[in-house]
Chains A and B, each alone.
Chain A
């Protein structure tokens, strides 16, 4: 019988409130049967003090957020996905400032390992300021779309975007290809990763750089968290394991899967449904300009040569292209932005697409006091002002913090060592 039903059977009271279990076994008639069974549970240690009263429905919802990590098959559109030599080459490229037009900006300028693979700024700055916050690079391999607006349908295509954007690195396809061909070390890394020296086709070499970078970024999967330990303890009915999870986080978790409606969008093991939403934050990008978000992202996707439907997809069967074929452009996409995953979220402040909220507490407060008039939802009814109490807000923050690794890797490293190219 699920734990929640047990507790309903005795009126839903916490075990700690019931006092000495033996006295509660001294009941009469119908209640006695339940009480005896309950005492057996206590004696067996299956329901210790501090266990939270999750209903069977809540438990099912909680279990959907794991197990972690999920299976991570290679990306069939990238022929070097999962290849250690490509990941090692990608790591070199990631930290190389020569891939920017000024020679001063690398990927790591805005995605710093020591700050959760982001830069801590509201709006990032490459060659010049951009309109959006630098997304963290954790768990990218589980994404369906990439970037705040989902303008890219693969991780390798996402890596090409800043190299082309004059505001970010801006080196361009020809400049990047020339660099790799001319530099002995980079040329060696390319050869090891792809099995041949970089060819004369600039665009082909350029796309391959994106694929090597993707092979590296695929390795940045977050580790297990206090929530995962709790979730797995719940799955195996391990009450002692469940009891180690802080009570505030449990209360926050109940809000998350229940009244908070958070899990509609922050669904599954990565705490993201892979899609886009209007979160009720302003989407002005500067004087007189609005950031169109997903609406603009789909339009860019359809014009891009670097998609799963294009010639750079290494999978002749196009097995992962169904999303790109069928994605729908709608007016309601205007002002929608990526639903970010929440793992290690405590490391990646500030939050939202333009970094408008500084802390997790600010994010929770935003949804608690949401101005529904600001939503451009076209009649959608997902977000509602939550009106959470101060304690409920603190509980939700405690839960979100429990999604963070105890000791996150900050070294930008990958486990497979490949001899350096000279």
Chain B
């Protein structure tokens, strides 16, 4: 009985993760959005949209994002230039309400290949979702 009691919650948690992951994969564009981009991971999927829509070089921009998947405890957003091995000169401020959030104060200060990275943490673990773009 004791073993069963231990297995029950574990099985339920695993099932919840599987269902959440399935939900993440089926993640649709938020109904109130026009445009935006999707990054699908194993645990979470994120829809994100920048303002302005075309990310500029050398000017600040902001993001809104919506996550699908299990509950989220924290989201960090950062930029990275893999060819140059440096990130941004600014630390974005992220606000998170449930599975929706915003990030302000981002800047890609050089032309070239950039990665936009969402670093997501929750009870289900941690996952990095990366979008890659080339700015001219």
Would you list which residues of chain B between 83 and 125 have a CB under 8 Å from chain A?
Answer: 83-86, 88-93, 104-105, 107, 109-112
Question: Is the C-beta of B60 less than 8 angstroms from some C-beta in chain A?
Answer: yes
In the complex, A200 has a CB within 8 A of chain B:
no
In the assembled complex, B58 has its CB within 8 A of some CB on chain A:
yes
B136 touches A264 (CB 8 A): no
Query: Given A328-B89, A328-B90: A264 and B112 within 8 A (CB)?
Result: yes
CB < 8 Å neighbour of A379 from B57, B85, B107, B136: B85
Contact of B91 among A328, A379, A382 (CB under 8 A): A328
With both chains docked as a complex, state the minimum distance between the C-beta of B60 and any C-beta of chain A, in angstroms: 5
A326 contacts partner chain B, Cβ-Cβ < 8 Å? yes
A388 shortest CB reach to chain B, Å: 21
What CA separation (Å) do A237 and B22 show in the bound complex? 53
Q: Is A322 an interface residue, CB under 8 A from the partner? A: yes
Contact of A327 among B86, B90, B104, B136 (CB under 8 A): B90
Given contacts A323-B90, A326-B91, contact A273 B84 (CB under 8 A): no
Known: A267-B58, A325-B93, A326-B91. A332 touches B86 (CB 8 A): yes
Within 8 Å of chain B (Cβ to Cβ): is A380?
yes
Within 8 A of B (CB), among A250-285: 263-265, 267-268, 273-276
Complex CA gap A322/B91 in Å reads 11
Identify the closest chain A residue to B136 (Cβ). A60
**Is there contact, CB below 8 Å, between A325 and B110?**
no
Partner of A326, one of B57, B92, B109, B111: B92
Task: Give the Cβ gap from A150 to chain B, nearest Cβ, in Å.
Answer: 10
Complex: chain B residue closest to A61, CB-CB? B136
List residues of B whose CB falls within 8 A of some A CB.
Answer: 57-58, 60, 83-86, 88-93, 104-105, 107, 109-112, 136
Q: List 14 A-B contacts (CB under 8 A).
A: A60-B136, A61-B111, A61-B136, A64-B111, A268-B57, A274-B58, A322-B104, A323-B90, A323-B107, A326-B90, A326-B91, A326-B92, A327-B90, A380-B86
- A sample of 5 more A-B contacts (CB under 8 A), given A64-B57, A380-B84, is A264-B111, A268-B58, A273-B57, A326-B91, A327-B90
